[in-house]
Amino acid sequence: MNILVDTNILLDATLHRDGLYDSSQNAILFALSNSHHLFFSCSSVTDYYYLLRKNKFSKEYSLECIKTIAKYASFATVDDKCIYHALHSSINDFEDAVVDAVATNINADIILTRNKKDFINSINKVLTPEEYLAKYQ
């Protein structure tokens, strides 16, 4: 199973967000332990780095977080096809439309996100961590 993980799931796990950490962390760990292939959009990774730094994490720590991700997941390219698709998407937010296009490019089975409502017009299956765990655990 190919899973494209949205930035907010990474932030839940890294920042130990109250009420969100457990389900996001458990979804990631479950996916890894069941040989589900995790992907992170290259644009999500740069956003993730920026947000870690904005939250006062050091450059070194932020880069170590990305190195850890690279050990367990793949990075999905954002190419001109993704941008073109996003520009013509019925998803209101451009960034989310890019995520949807990347998911299509990698043949993702699901997009794992905290903000499911942002993907109402997605052409891909979208699940929250709780829904993913309930369905596949």
CATH number at residue 118: 3.40.50.1010
Q: Could you tell me how far CA 13 lies from the centroid of its own chain?
A: 12
Low-confidence ranges of the chain (pLDDT < 50): none
Give the model's pLDDT for residue 46: 95
Tokens of 117: 């409502």
Q: Which domain holds residue 48?
A: 2-136
| 0.85 exceeded by pTM | yes
Q: Are 11 and 45 contacting, i.e. CB atoms less than 8 angstroms apart?
A: no
Give the model's pLDDT for residue 81: 96
Decide: residue 15, CB within 10 A, 0-12 exposed, 13-18 middle, 19+ buried: middle
When divided into structural domains, the chain yields a total of 1
